[in-house]
Every structure is written in structure tokens, then in C-alpha cells.
Structure 1
């Protein structure tokens, strides 16, 4: 009788330890799965931040480039106006010389 009770107790202990070990392995798998998901979320978040920074940088570069082009156009227009003024002044001087001659 006592021998059977001991066997039952040992069997229960073995079953409990097996269940505990199984639960621990399942828990570890569960934790690892969550950690992998968290890492993936962090990576995605960093990628989004980097993409946003690149987008801002590209927009800023495009804005600066358009401003530079606008300044270049203004400068070219000013140079063209100055050149035209110089040509007009030369034409007026020629007309004055022709009138005096």
C-alpha cells in the first residue's frame, strides 16, 4: 500500500515538474515572440523617423534650390535690364553726336 502511495506521489511530482517545465518553455517562447515583435516595432518606428527626416531634408533642399533658382532669375533679369539701359544710353549718345555733326 505504502509502496503504491509513494509511486503515486512520485508520478504526481513528475507530472507537475513536466507541466512546470512545459509551461516554462511555452512562457519563454511567448516572451521571445513578444520581444521579437517589440524589436520589429522599434525597427519600423526608426525607419519611419528616418524616412520623415529624409523627406524633410529633401523638401528643404528642394525649397533652397527653388529659392536659388529664383535668385538666379532675378539676377539675370537685373543684368538684362542693366544691359538694355547701357545700350539705350549708347544709342542716345550716338543720336546726340549725329545731331551735333
Structure 2
């Protein structure tokens, strides 16, 4: 077996910082990820009791839509006319920046 390492020609890729990578991808028509999550307001916990059938239905809906109970509740409150900032209504709060 030979100890000679192969030589490769340069691909002429940009330096590896996020701005350069995004610019390179954009120039080639490649979509980029949203790495900048929208800021969320500070949160507090509010506890309440709801009928068992409602809690079960909400958990099933959250699982089907791959969202969270928090998302379903905030969306329902917004639809009812409450003022809620868009940055606070996140489908999956575990992974910032992930939006469907």
C-alpha cells in the first residue's frame, strides 16, 4: 500500500462563514434555513382545568399537526380576538427557527 496522499483541485468555494454560504447557495437557487428564530416574549405558567375530552382532543391534534399545546391555545386565543405577537405563536417551541 502506498503512503502517497491524493491531491485534489480546489472547487473555488467561498470561505465557510454563514453569510458566504447563504450567498453561494442563493446564487445557485438553493433554499436556505431560517437560522434566526423570532424573539419570543417572556412566559409565565397559567394552570387551569379543562374537561378530560378536551385535553385528550387537544393532545391528539397537537400530535397530528406536530405542534404543541401552547401553540394550539395561543392560536385559539388569537382567533378569539386577543392580541398575541406573531413571534410568540410558534408551532414547535422545542426547535426555534422551525416553521412550517
Query: Does TM, scored on the shorter chain, surpass 0.5?
Result: no
TM-score when normalising by structure 2 = 0.17
- After TM superposition, the score normalised by the length of structure 1 is 0.16
Q: Comparing both structures, which one devotes a greater share of its residues to helix?
A: 1
